Every structure is written in structure tokens, then in C-alpha cells.
Structure 1
Amino acid sequence: MTTATTEATSISTLLREGTAVAHTEAENASFMANLIRGELAREDAVNLTAQYYFIYTALENIARRGRATNDAVASIADARLDRLPSLEADLAAMIGPNWREEITALPSTTRYVAELETISPDDAPAIIAHHYVRYLGDIAGGQVIARMLEGHYGLAAEELTFYDFSAIGKIPPFRKNYKDALDALPFSDTERASLLAHAQNAFCLNSAVFADLARISPVLQGR
């Protein structure tokens, strides 16, 4: 089913309904499902965090450049959401002071990063689409994931600061304000269509990363 991109549909509804299939596929990827159920290993959680480091380095670079020059991006890309300092702290706690020398971007992560790096700071629909896919999911599902990683793999609080969004206050009102800001964007039908296409692609890029993580998992390799 194709979701209409006319102004009769709010942007938050357009994104939710238009990415539903891709979202479900990413959410139900075997790697993430197995990880959350506690069926993998601590190494898998570390590998996931490492891939996020590369992805968020590129994502937050373009978001930072975009919000400096574009009002639409500035209204969405709240700097309090930035995850890069947390990821650096988590990896230092997980791996040690030389963590940068120990991690490598997987092929799918490299493609994801390359795509983010091609986005212009003036391309508000593309930046906002990628921002929406990652951060809104982090804020919601991330809280559950953090509890599962702690319970199943013994990760300490200092290894899970990526999932700590205390800087934004209570999550439900923040999510509402985020969606209200989306709905207030003065996007044309063409810009809405671009926003949706980029969001769908972002979910596909994430699914590809999960597939690569499954391929290198010390547990899943033998299956």
C-alpha cells in the first residue's frame, strides 16, 4: 500500500505509515531479535556499538551542518540527542583506551556512511528522514534494548550511555514535541515524497548493517 504524500496527511503519519513495512523488517532482523532475546554474545553487542559509532559520526556531522544553515533541520535535529560522545565513552568502557584501533566498519556500514556523506546540508528532507529513523527509534526502543543488554550480557551502565536520553527530560513529551515539529514543517508535496523515500531507504540501510552483524556473529556463524 502506498501512502499519499499530499498535505492532507500529516508528516508524522506519512512517515509512520509509509515506513511501516521497512521498519518491521529492520526491527525483526535476526541479529537484533536474537540479541534482544539474549541468544548472542557480549561481542555482538560490542560490534553493534562499533557500527553505530561510524554511522553516527556521519549522521551527526551532516545534522550539525544542516541545523546551522537550515531552519527546517534546526527545528528537528535537537543537539541534545547527539550520540557520538556517548558512543565514544561506551566503546572506551567496552574495549579500552585503544578502541579506535580495534573497530572496523562493516561493508554495509561503509555504504551507509557513504550515503550520509553525499547529503547536502541544504537537503532538509534527506537529513530529517535519516534523523527520524535513527533517533526516534533510539528514544523509544532503545530503552528496552539497554535493559536487555544489561540483563543478558552483563553490560555495565558506563557501557550503555548511548541509550541514556536523560538530557531531553521525560521521553513521552519529547516524542510528542518531535512529531509536532515534523508536522509543522512547511514541505511541499515533492519534499514530502523525498522525505519518505529517504526514510524508507534509511531503514533498508539499517537492515543491511544488521545482516552484516549476523554474518560476523560468533554465535550465528555456526548456524
Structure 2
Amino acid sequence: MCAPALVQPLSIRLRECPAQAHEHAEGSDFMTSLLGGDATPEAFTALTAQLYYVYDALEAAMRRHRESVWAGQIYDARLERRDAIATDLAFLLGPGWREEITPLPATRRYVERLEEADEIGVIGHHYVRYLGDVAGGQVIATMMQRLYGVSPEGLSFYDFSALGKIKPFRDDYRAALDGLDLTDAQAAALTDEAELAFALNSDVFADLAGEPAL
């Protein structure tokens, strides 16, 4: 059980409360296989394809709210990944990549949630996706090169060099979260949405594990 929302800084609450859902996503069969070297380059490409739909929806949602009181304090165009993923897919699948990919059922549900989420909800998804990407992106890119021979031209998604040093960026991001003027109920709703975001990612991984690779 999490402490009441106002007892802890929001950044701490977001780290601790969804911890079990976070571990479940990271420990999914698909990700365990991919990061353990037991998958294929095609599995990596399949993941990249699903992420295109997720980030297209997430970034459209964040742009809708970027002038708002709370989202405006979190929004940073340097984080946006959709165009980088498109570049990766063009390299991995060729210029006709859009005709070769389709969202899995879990991805469609994820997108629907992002499309219907309010400002508080979008911030929860923003935290889950981007802070995780920034934290582990370079490690994953290195592993994909080493394990599957993926060329750097197919790994633009994981390049956050535009942010500068990662630790100061992450510290500033957490400070911005802690500075949001939320009620207890709003902070709790944001944390709940972050937990849902991890569950939605787990569902996408489960669908990927059950699908033939591209």
C-alpha cells in the first residue's frame, strides 16, 4: 500500500508505488528473451514497430496539453521519439515500412488509452516511457548491437544525446514532477495511471511473445 499522495514527493511515489508492475513489465518473457540474447533481430524490429504507434499517440497527447498548467512543466520536445522510430523502421524494413507494420491488439488498447487520457493521465504515461528510455536507452542500444548486430542506423530511438548529460536531466525532470501543484487526489490519479502504463506495456510484450516475428 502506498503512502498518501502528499506524504511523499511525487517522484518518489511514482518510483515506489508501481514498482511491482514495473518489475512485471521488465521481467516479461519477451523482454527477458530479447535482452538475454535468445531472440532474433526480427523480434527487435517487431518491438520497434509497436513502439511507433505508442509514441505517435503519446506525443500527440502531450502536445495537446503542452500549454496547460501541469503538462507544460514536463513537456520537452527533445524527448520526442516518433520521428526517430520512423527513421529506424525505414532502415530496418525499407522505405515501404508503413505497409509492413500493424498494431497488435494490446498496442491498439494502449493507443486508445493515450487518446482518451486527461492531462494528469498523460503525464503518468510520459513519466513511465521517457524516464525509462533515458535511463536504459544506451544500455539497450549497446546490447542490440552486440547480441543481434543491429546497426546504429536502426537505433536512433535510443539516442538521447540532445539532452546532454543524463543525470542532470533526470534530476530536473523529477524536480519538475515534485513541483506540480496537485491535490492528493490528482497525485494519486497520476500514480495510478503510471501503474496502468506499466501494465499496458506488459500486455504489448505478451502480444509480441505470441506473434511470429516480422
Identify the TM-score tier after normalising by the shorter chain: over 0.9
Cα distance, 1:217 vs structure 2: 4.3
* Alignment partner, residue 221 of structure 1: none
Q: 1:45 & 1:111 partners in 2: Cα distance? A: 21
Contact 1:5 1:14 in 2 (8 A): no
Q: 1:11 & 1:83 partners in 2: Cα distance? A: 25
Q: 1:200 & 1:162 partners in 2: Cα distance? A: 23
Q: Secondary structure of the equivalent of 2:95?
A: coil
Task: Encode CA deviations 1:147-174: one digit per residue, 9 max, x unaligned.
Answer: 1111111111110000000011110110
* Alignment partner, residue 18 of structure 1: 17
Cα pair distance change 1:44/1:90, threshold 3 Å? same
Cα distance, 1:48 vs structure 2: 0.2
Amino acid at match of 2:4: T
* Alignment partner, residue 57 of structure 2: 58
Q: Which runs of 4+ in 1 moved over 6 A?
A: none
Q: Which runs of 5+ in 2 are unaligned?
A: none
* Alignment partner, residue 199 of structure 2: 204
Contact 1:90 1:158 in 2 (8 A): yes
Count residues with an aligned counterpart.
213
Q: 1:107 & 1:71 partners in 2: Cα distance? A: 33
* Structure-to-structure mapping, 1:68-83, within 5 angstroms: 68=67, 70-83=68-81
Percent identity over the alignment is 50
Amino acid at match of 2:80: D
TM-score by length of 1: 0.93
* Alignment partner, residue 105 of structure 1: 103
Amino acid at match of 1:178: Y
Contact 1:29 1:211 in 2 (8 A): yes
1:84 maps onto 2:78 in alignment: no
Q: 1:118 & 1:6 partners in 2: Cα distance? A: 24
* Structure-to-structure mapping, 1:106-125, within 5 angstroms: 106-119=104-117, 123-125=118-120
Q: 2:153 & 2:199 partners in 1: Cα distance? A: 30
Q: 1:6 & 1:53 partners in 2: Cα distance? A: 33
| Residue number among 160, 165, 184 corresponding to 1:165 in the alignment | 160
Contact 1:29 1:207 in 2 (8 A): yes
User: In angstroms, what is the RMSD of aligned CA positions?
Assistant: 0.9
* Alignment partner, residue 140 of structure 1: 135
